[in-house]
Amino acid sequence: MRRDPAAGGNDAGAPTARAPGGEGEPHSRHHDARLGSADKELKAGATAESSAPTALGSPRQREPRVKVMDPAGGPRNLLPRPCRVLVLLNPRGGKGKALQLFRSHVQPLLAQADVSYRLMLTERRNHARELVRTEELARWDALVVMSGDGLMHEVVNGLMERPDWETAIRKPLCSLPAGSGNALAASLNHYAGYEQVTNEDLLNNCTVLLCRRRLAPMNLLSLQMVSGLRVFSVLSLAWGFIADVDIESEKFRRLGEMRFTVGTILRLAALRVYRGRLAYLPVERVVSKVPTSPALDRQDQQGPVDTHLVPLEEPVPAHWTVVPEQDFVLVLALLHSHLGSEMFAAPMGHSAAGAMHLFYVRAGVSRAMLLRLFLAMEKGRHMECDCPYLVYVPVVAFRLEPKDGKGMFAVDGELMVSEAVQGQVHPNYFWMVSGRVEPSPPLEPQQTPPPEGPL
């Protein structure tokens, strides 16, 4: 049984954690005063063994299909050693035990891997967003986000709001799961070849990825709202059933990921239908021609140019697909494999650079079938249910226009106003700690090139 070093005033004893070569082996002791503010700095003094730590979850490593290279054709991208990181931690995320988990599970492994860190605790919504807007990023080799998916959403949008956003977004990021929704961490765990695990096992696996220092480029979803708001997503946009469950289950946050099971059952009991128009640009119809709309020539908005999108007031281009049905149970645009640590939503494989998974379920599906789909999703078997109401297509862009403003949007698990929205994926646009051994090839010549490499 692992002792919780946060239980006492000061950490008087050496914490134990699963370490290279065995479980529960003691690590070097650190003087770690109890945090009384949102800012602490600790220098990890120990040095790791020559071999990398072994993750939990009986990792199953896939063989690389190609030689490991970065997008620019150079050697594999790695964080330096020794490494210095800024850790942004939400102490109220999930079950409210993130700080204890950091001390008992993360800190010992960082000590062995020669990773020093500064720990900053977020105190309110959008606090991390505010912090990274003004942080001197050159001091850090990476930004580590320990919470659920919402905090990573804040960090990426904060970086994209900086005057030096083109440089800032090149700072490598790392996701350590400590929230109730840990879809991004679960996806990275999957890409590394590890078995699907949850809770502390998932946290250990992701910490090991940080200790191994490997970086991979990730897609970024740019979203434009009819109100003029622009938002960047690192994971998903959901409308309808999934968004309802995500947002309405917030009241059960203390249950951890069990909140989504409870929310699903409650929403199934009062299943809703949402009216709206959906259109998308499928992967096979991608063309590199830039639309000639004047709106795309405007440079008053920060961020990459959305070359596949026209203004929301205009019809979608003729080569897009317009879904004839207008009654939906859910619509989901997903960048990664998982929608939660036990929701393997996209078993069809890692999406190509510049592409995302688009799912929608048409009205008419029974409650029994919908429940069957969600139960099968744990193992990625929902596509085998042969549900005639479930549609999947890989796309590079989409437009969704809810009618009467009904239904909720959840972007990376965060509530957004229900309004007309369109989005486009930007390939390999930012860097994350990952076990994935090669970047995904782009679908097309890039009009707006992604960052050349991590800073």
User: Which residue numbers are catalytic?
Assistant: 149
**Which helix (H) or strand (E) is 266 found in, with range?**
helix 258-269
Cβ burial, residue 205 (10 Å; 0-12/13-18/19+): buried
Looking up tokens 């090669």 gives 438
Nearest to 244 by CA among 269, 202, 272, 219: 272
> What is the SS3 assignment for 399?
strand
Helical H segments across 86-216, by residue range: 98-101, 107-112, 127-134, 149-160, 165-168, 183-191, 199-212
Whether the CA torsion 236, 242, 247, 253 is positive or negative: it is: negative
Distance CA(217)–CA(384), nearest Å, equals 30
The residue type of 83 is C
Nearest to 246 by CA among 235, 231, 257: 257
The DSSP code for 240 is: E
Distance CA(230)–CA(208), nearest Å, equals 34
Q: Show Cβ contacts of residue 289 under 8 Å, excluding neighbours closer than 6 positions.
A: none
